[in-house]
Amino acid sequence: MKTDIEIALEADMQPIGDIAAQLSLTAEDFEPYGHYKAKLSDNLLDKLSSRPEGKVILTTSINPTPAGEGKSTVTVGLGQALNRLNKHAIIALREPSLGPTMGIKGGAAGGGYSQVVPMQEINLHFTGDIHAITTANNALSAFIDNHIHHGNELQIDPRRVEWKRVLDINDRALRQVNVGLGGPAKGVPREDGFTITVASEIMAVLCLANEIQDLKARLARIVIGYTYDKKPVTVHQLGFEGALTLLLKDAFKPNLVQTLENTPAIIHGGPFANIAHGCNSVMATKIAAKLGDYVVTEAGFGADLGAEKFLDIKTRAGHFEPDTVVIVATIRALKMHGGVNKNQLTTEDLEALKQGMTNLKKHIETIEQFNLPYVVAINKFPTDTEQEINSLTEWCKQKRVEVALVDVFSQGGEGGIELAQKVIESSERKTGAVSYTYDLDDSIEEKIYKIVTKVYGGDRVEFSSTAKKQLQQLEREGHDKLPICMAKTQYSLSDDPMLIGRPEGFTITVRELRASVGAGFIVALTGDVMTMPGLPKKPAALNMDVTEDGIITGLF
Amino acid sequence: MKTDIEIALEADMQPIGDIAAQLSLTAEDFEPYGHYKAKLSDNLLDKLSSRPEGKVILTTSINPTPAGEGKSTVTVGLGQALNRLNKHAIIALREPSLGPTMGIKGGAAGGGYSQVVPMQEINLHFTGDIHAITTANNALSAFIDNHIHHGNELQIDPRRVEWKRVLDINDRALRQVNVGLGGPAKGVPREDGFTITVASEIMAVLCLANEIQDLKARLARIVIGYTYDKKPVTVHQLGFEGALTLLLKDAFKPNLVQTLENTPAIIHGGPFANIAHGCNSVMATKIAAKLGDYVVTEAGFGADLGAEKFLDIKTRAGHFEPDTVVIVATIRALKMHGGVNKNQLTTEDLEALKQGMTNLKKHIETIEQFNLPYVVAINKFPTDTEQEINSLTEWCKQKRVEVALVDVFSQGGEGGIELAQKVIESSERKTGAVSYTYDLDDSIEEKIYKIVTKVYGGDRVEFSSTAKKQLQQLEREGHDKLPICMAKTQYSLSDDPMLIGRPEGFTITVRELRASVGAGFIVALTGDVMTMPGLPKKPAALNMDVTEDGIITGLF
């Protein structure tokens, strides 16, 4: 089979104006960025308010493994399949970050015959959204240091500036830096660090805002650090929410592209899935729902992190609900959850598969707790045996779980017809509202306890002494009514990445609590979370080139 | 009179496709970026090779003063005036940098009724070129630190990494930083610093490359630092020229916009005018020459820096020559060169004006030395008296210097008709080739001596002991045949900013020499050059906003 980039470069793309026309958009509703990308007006929601809303389909998965689940590929393939069934389907995805693209081989735009295109542009600078966020984030850092330098009227404690600088690059040498060195002309010395741009609170803010004034209000609320007497200092006190909004006004507009089969796709926003909520923007999903009969969207990592945050954070911020959920699993990954080693996945192992299904089972229960219908999608790999597939489908049938075999990677939309049909049926089965994991009025401890017991299947929560102090501080500052954003390993339902399958009886330890007041959630950190990746010894960038013939190589 | 932003927002812009059609470009020659910006194909030069070349007009000025000379405004107004005379004129300008826009009031896209539009977009993220350069520059930094971290095969001395990180932000706290702190997982500690993006060598490389493979070859030659035994280390040795080229492939395409009067304008590249050459890209100027009968372009600062580098560096790299030069002067600025204080410029002072003309005289002589015809443009201010204007025009007539009174700021192209007519005549008067200031085969010392004596009117050059050592090193490394890029104060012909007018008998001290091997020049530093600006106590950003009605405020 051809490589992803070979397939992508052969795509028969339609001019983006034709894709827009297909969605009944007029010339003032979008701005072209090149021939195959466009920015949608952020006034579209107002303009389309009388249009009915399409069904929202959330794609999630079991806990990820090195075997790969292909959640984005299934998301794109499902959209293409719905289109083949003559449904107006539209896909809403996250924007990929450049840092990892340069570091380790791999894009973030689906795979095989289920990709969004032009993938080489989507995976490079795209329409500049992430660069605008980098700029706004670092402008704020400069404003903070400038304030301290010029008299420090707000009495910001340089030791307690929590706002970090960012770059959309994997660069371990920037994890911890000292800035302001070299004497009075070069600012006030202090300890600082860079995170990757997608971990900036501004990314989360952009993804959760409902319109541009909401964006500005959220930016204004961001807490950048503390004064010498430990009072929080906000962007509003510094007076820069207007300038930051101006820097973000175009980045706030969702981006329209298409799939290999010309299904419209909106790609917008890409916050980290641990210290942030890991979903594309509220704006994108809501506009997509106005433009299509079916919106297929995804959330980062497995259902314990991505779907939980999609439901408890994103849909609350955006005042909408999904209609159904697709839970993606692969035979390979289930076998890994059953204890099989990565290099033995091609050998049939029905016992391990059965063991691994306990992980799938937990995520099914979680979606049921949210009171949402769902379909399990088995994302087929060439090495899956018939016995293995039968074993998994039989198990689903016994449990009265809707299941569909999917092969969108090698067949495109055609390989997702069965799933599409079941998803259409499933989206009609929703009864009543989503049942959130916790009430916003619950205490922070209660909220975390409910996530741990209901979603992770754990027994207890422990708070470090630091976290306990922070708990009290957040209550004092009145931030305890915000939803919780858990930062936990994606590899396990627990906070120990080695505990695969369906661990039980475990305790989750909350090491630290941080308020992302602008984004509107409290981050609960369990274990170390790396917010600035490093590069491998031989980065993927070494293979990249633009040849004499103008051909791009090495990107994927 | 209305403010710049008020005028700009009222502009009757044509869709960018219409501007492109006016230049006989077809759909595959450009990609729209929104409704009023486009990127031109970097293959255009090949495609248009059989078209005749238009006349290239270089706009330069006397030494800048706080009174302002309005060089960009005259450049834009002249293009508009040529258009009014039914000439196919096209303007080629530099891209503004975001950092200063956020810091101090002011855009870089002309003024009054001679502006390029959409100015708010041109002054914000534009088409993302500068962000792409930031990304490429910092990716290279990450690759360097990653190489050192993973065994340092090339034996790069962490104390001798000369490649700095960049941001397009005014941020004094980043002038000197320590990176790689915090232990083995966070890289190798070393001293580093950030410059503003437009000071990145990659910006100069992008502006001097003739086509994308030349861009790659120049990137490959960049020297990032030295080994423990003081051997230069290049990007090619690291192996990342392909990846950097890929990151820059879209930024390398010139941007098409228009003026308030719908005259086409190509805005592309904006290197610093001290440590770099301060001109828009070779690609932009050469494509403009293929698309218009007249190209009006400018170079940074006064003729001693901008025009000299345009001629001795840019036209040599691009293998082209201008046909005529416009030297911009204002009565106000000439009076300052004659000793008048900034707050007394509204008082008539014929004596000071006469004194100040010595500065203009020197720049006229410089352009004559280059063997180029020229016109002096008096950029009119409302406070200029008739006596003062008469005095200056009389002086020009006595000296047989072509002179035109210009009022393009308040009248648009109409205020530049006289200048346009004289420029058309002047562009026919060119006799023979440009006479460069120095031969490339001259020694570094000879080249600098010739610039100082012929262009600055100084007597002597002194080299610091550091510079002397670097001189020998550059010769050893075989870089002594490159042209020279002088980094000198823009306020004086000498290296002392206080020596206004036409100082004589002075010595220029070269403090340091640096090879920008990728860009293809040797930077000779005289005095301190600040490559990362700071912010004032109350940055312009404080006044910026996006109002409830969606109106942008405070940008200019």
Task: Read off the pLDDT of residues B277-307 as tens digits, 9 standing for 90 and up.
Answer: 999 999 999 999 999 999 999 999 999 999 9
Set of chain B residues whose Cβ sits within 8 Å of the Cβ of A125 = 128, 131-132, 135, 247, 250
Residue of A nearest to B241 (CA): A545
Within 13 Å of residue B493, how many CA atoms lie on the same side as its CB? Answer: 29
Query: What are the angstrom distances between the C-alpha of B10 and each of B3, B93, B123, B266?
Result: 11, 22, 17, 21
DSSP E strand boundaries for B356-428: 374-379, 403-406
pLDDT for the residue numbered B105: 60
Residue B499, both tokens: 């020596």
Tokens 């799938």 belong to A360
Is B17 among the annotated ligand-binding positions?
A: no
Q: How many CB pairs under 8 A join A and B?
A: 230
Set of chain A residues whose Cβ sits within 8 Å of the Cβ of B167 = 138
Shortest alpha-carbon distance between residue A120 and chain B (Å)? 10
Query: What are the angstrom distances between the C-alpha of B480 and each of B232, B255, B275?
Result: 15, 34, 17
**Residue type (1 letter), A141:** S
Cα-Cα-Cα-Cα dihedral sign, residues A151, A156, A158, A161: negative
pLDDT band of B107, cuts 50, 70, 90: low
Of the partner residues B125, B212, B534, the one whose CB lies closest to the CB of residue A546: B212
CA neighbor of B304 nearest in space, from B322, B286, B320, B327: B327
Structure confidence by residue, pLDDT tens digits, B446-501: 999 999 999 999 999 999 999 999 999 999 999 999 999 999 999 999 999 999 99
Tokens 């990308």 belong to A37
pLDDT at A297 over 80: yes
Shortest alpha-carbon distance between residue A37 and chain B (Å)? 9
pLDDT at A309 over 70: yes
Of the partner residues A125, A138, A149, the one whose CB lies closest to the CB of residue B169: A138
* % chain A with pLDDT above 90: 92
pLDDT band of A105, cuts 50, 70, 90: low
Structure confidence by residue, pLDDT tens digits, B17-47: 999 999 999 999 999 999 999 999 989 999 9
Residues 6+ apart with CB under 8 A from B26: none
Report the range of poorest mean pLDDT among A393-407, A488-502, B60-74, B155-169: B60-74
Residues 6+ apart with CB under 8 A from A52: none
DSSP state at residue B498? T
pLDDT for the residue numbered B109: 82
Set of chain B residues whose Cβ sits within 8 Å of the Cβ of A17 = none
pLDDT at B106 over 60: no
Interface test with B, best of A18, A156, A171 (most B CBs within 10 A): A171
DSSP E strand boundaries for B162-292: 165-167, 177-179, 190-192, 194-196, 223-227, 232-234, 255-259, 264-267
Shortest alpha-carbon distance between residue B496 and chain A (Å)? 21
Shortest alpha-carbon distance between residue A445 and chain B (Å)? 32
Is B231 among the annotated ligand-binding positions?
A: no
Set of chain A residues whose Cβ sits within 8 Å of the Cβ of B545 = 242-243, 245-246
Tokens 């004499």 belong to A548
CB contact under 8 A, A125 and B145: no
Of the partner residues B132, B178, B243, the one whose CB lies closest to the CB of residue A178: B178
Is B65 among the annotated ligand-binding positions?
A: yes
Residue A473, both tokens: 């501080």
pLDDT at B112 over 80: yes
pLDDT at B251 over 70: yes
Residues B341-355, mean pLDDT to the nearest whole number = 94
- Computed over every residue of chain A, the mean pLDDT equals 96
pLDDT for the residue numbered A183: 96
Helices B71-84 and B417-427, axial angle in degrees (round to 10):
80
CB contact under 8 A, A246 and B552: yes
Structure confidence by residue, pLDDT tens digits, A118-154: 998 999 999 999 999 999 999 999 999 999 999 999 9
CA distance A279 to A273: 7
Residues B379-385, mean pLDDT to the nearest whole number = 95
Evaluate if pTM is beyond 0.90. yes
Report the range of poorest mean pLDDT among A334-338, A531-535, A538-542, B551-555: B551-555
pLDDT band of A107, cuts 50, 70, 90: low
Shortest alpha-carbon distance between residue A512 and chain B (Å)? 20
First to last CA, chain A: 14
CB contact under 8 A, B33 and A33: yes
Report the range of poorest mean pLDDT among A53-57, A67-71, B134-138, B408-412: A67-71
CB contact under 8 A, A172 and B182: no
Query: What are the angstrom distances between the C-alpha of B246 and each of A26, B136, B146, B446?
Result: 34, 9, 20, 39
pLDDT at A106 over 70: no
ipTM confidence score: 0.96
Helix, strand, coil proportions of chain B in percent (round to 5)? 40, 20, 40
Shortest alpha-carbon distance between residue A40 and chain B (Å)? 10
Contact B262, B269 (CB under 8 A): no
* % chain A with pLDDT above 70: 99
Is B69 among the annotated ligand-binding positions?
A: yes
How far does CA B270 lie from the centroid of its chain? 5
Within 13 Å of residue B215, how many CA atoms lie on the same side as its CB? Answer: 31
Residues B85-97, mean pLDDT to the nearest whole number = 96
Contact B226, B289 (CB under 8 A): no
Residue A342, both tokens: 């990565």
pLDDT for the residue numbered B515: 95
Contact B241, B255 (CB under 8 A): no
pLDDT band of B529, cuts 50, 70, 90: confident
CA distance A555 to A542: 10
Contact B224, B235 (CB under 8 A): yes
Residues 6+ apart with CB under 8 A from A41: A28, A29, A30, A31, A47, A253
Contact A318, A45 (CB under 8 A): no
pLDDT band of B68, cuts 50, 70, 90: confident
Residue B482, both tokens: 């490159």
Residue of A nearest to B34 (CA): A31
- Computed over every residue of chain B, the mean pLDDT equals 96
CA distance B163 to B278: 20
Structure confidence by residue, pLDDT tens digits, A441-463: 999 999 999 999 999 999 999 99
Residue of B nearest to A100 (CA): B139
CA neighbor of A408 nearest in space, from A393, A392, A396, A420: A420
Residue of B nearest to A249 (CA): B546
Of the partner residues B138, B180, B542, the one whose CB lies closest to the CB of residue A240: B542
Of the partner residues A31, A139, A170, the one whose CB lies closest to the CB of residue B142: A170
Within 13 Å of residue A531, how many CA atoms lie on the same side as its CB? Answer: 23
pLDDT for the residue numbered B108: 65
Is B70 among the annotated ligand-binding positions?
A: yes
pLDDT for the residue numbered A5: 84
Provide the β-strand partners of residue A32. A38
CB contact under 8 A, A541 and B139: yes
CB contact under 8 A, A135 and B187: no
Q: What are phi and psi of A290, to 5 degrees?
A: -80, -25
